[in-house]
């Protein structure tokens, strides 16, 4: 298994850009286990909701803050290579805020409007934007199937006003138009197993999926211990997060897949 330890230079890069790409963070077997278990997970399928973009197209997702189970999802959200990296870039102990599987089905998956995660986490009473996410490409993410786009350095802007666009919470379009004149747009194309760490104030979006390839991503979201917030379903207040060895992803995944076969 490959290992990953963030360097001081990468911490500085995150501070400057608001995101950090970690290519090959997870190997082919880890991603195959996550893909097969996620596809077969009927319990999570019943939790799926849809977000509608401004053109009426839907992107699907399920979301949970469940840390009570020994399953492959917790193998990822608790693993050192994610949690230690998040603590390094946020300069604090972190705990799990929630995790979610984002699904853009081939040809029908909708867009996500420009937004900051703190744009709506702010409404949960989170006092500071000292929060972040790790997006893991379960299958390939390309321009064609709607990979994530970010505005480099946009986390330095502070929180932008947000409203409702379609059924999504999105950033003010007029403000985005002005910001886009000055900040670089980056398409985050990712191979399976690549991860993107990004700050809660980093502006990001994605296009609709007009390709024949689905785009599944697991997003693990974290808050810092010193950031007070309301204790809400799916968005909890602080609780210590036990870190698991990275090897447990495969151990749990193999067992879980055998049980569902």
Q: Specify the pTM.
A: 0.96
**pLDDT number for residue 9:** 98
Q: Which CATH superfamily is domain 8-260 in?
A: q2cbj1_9rhob like domain (2.60.120.620)
**pLDDT number for residue 212:** 96
- pLDDT tens digits for range 45-87: 989 999 999 999 999 999 999 999 999 999 999 999 999 999 9
Confidence of residue 2 (pLDDT cuts 50, 70, 90): low
- pLDDT tens digits for range 100-126: 999 999 999 999 999 999 999 999 999
Closest among 207, 55, 84, 189 to 135, alpha carbons compared: 189
- pLDDT tens digits for range 149-180: 999 999 999 999 999 999 999 999 999 999 99
Our measurement of the distance from residue 42's CA atom to the centroid of its chain's CA atoms, rounded to an integer in Å, reads 21
- pLDDT tens digits for range 176-220: 999 999 999 999 999 999 999 999 999 999 999 999 999 999 999
Closest among 139, 138, 204 to 170, alpha carbons compared: 204
The residue whose two tokens read 């949690």 is 83
Confidence of residue 260 (pLDDT cuts 50, 70, 90): confident
**Any residues with CB less than 8 A from the CB of 65 and at least 6 apart, and which?**
96, 97, 98, 99, 233, 234, 235, 236
**pLDDT number for residue 210:** 95
Our measurement of the distance from residue 249's CA atom to the centroid of its chain's CA atoms, rounded to an integer in Å, reads 18
Beta-bridge mates of residue 103: 60, 216
**pLDDT number for residue 111:** 94
Which helix (H) or strand (E) segment is 188 a member of? strand 185-188
Can you list the pairs that 63-67 forms with residues at least 24 positions away whose Cβ atoms lie under 8 Å?
A: 63/98, 63/99, 63/100, 63/234, 64/98, 64/99, 64/100, 64/234, 65/96, 65/97, 65/98, 65/99, 65/233, 65/234, 65/235, 65/236, 67/96, 67/239, 67/241
Residue 57 phi/psi, 5° resolution?
-90, 150
Q: Is the pLDDT of residue 3 over 80?
A: no
Q: How far apart are CA 198 and CA 196, in angstroms?
A: 6
Q: How far apart are CA 216 and CA 45, in angstroms?
A: 14
Q: Is the pLDDT of residue 1 over 60?
A: no
Tell me the DSSP string of 84-109.
Answer: HHHHHHHTS-EEEEEEEEEEE-TTTB
- pLDDT tens digits for range 9-44: 999 999 999 999 999 999 999 999 999 999 999 999
Do residues 164 and 170 make contact, with C-beta atoms less than 8 angstroms apart? yes
Q: What is the C-alpha radius of gyration for the chain, rounded to an integer number of angstroms?
A: 17
Domain ranges of the chain: 8-260
**Percent of the chain residues topping a pLDDT of 90:** 96
Compute the average pLDDT of residues 228-252.
Answer: 97
């Amino acid at each position: 298994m490959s290992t990953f330890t963030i360097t001081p230079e990468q911490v500085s890069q995150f501070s400057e850009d608001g995101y950090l790409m970690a290519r090959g963070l997870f190997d082919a077997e880890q991603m195959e286990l996550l893909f097969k278990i996620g596809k077969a997970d009927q319990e999570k399928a019943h939790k799926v909701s849809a977000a509608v973009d401004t053109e009426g197209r839907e992107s699907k997702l399920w979301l949970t803050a469940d840390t009570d189970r020994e399953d492959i999802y917790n193998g990822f959200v608790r693993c050192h290579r994610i949690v230690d990296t998040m603590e390094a870039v946020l300069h604090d102990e972190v705990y799990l805020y929630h995790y979610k599987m984002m699904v853009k089905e081939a040809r029908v998956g909708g867009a996500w409007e420009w937004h900051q995660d703190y744009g709506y986490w702010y409404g949960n009473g989170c006092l500071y934007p000292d929060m972040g996410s790790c997006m893991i490409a379960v299958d390939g993410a390309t321009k064609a199937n709607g990979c994530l786009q970010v505005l480099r350095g946009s986390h330095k802007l502070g929180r932008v006003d947000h409203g409702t666009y379609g059924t999504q919470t999105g950033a003010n379009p007029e403000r985005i138009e002005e910001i886009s004149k000055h900040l670089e747009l980056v398409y985050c194309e990712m191979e399976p197993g690549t991860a993107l760490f990004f700050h809660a104030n980093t502006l990001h979006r994605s296009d609709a999926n007009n390709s024949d390839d689905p785009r599944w991503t697991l997003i693990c979201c974290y808050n810092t211990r010193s950031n007070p917030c309301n204790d809400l379903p799916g968005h909890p207040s602080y609780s210590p997060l036990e870190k698991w060895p990275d090897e447990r992803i495969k151990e749990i995944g193999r067992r879980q897949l055998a049980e569902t076969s």
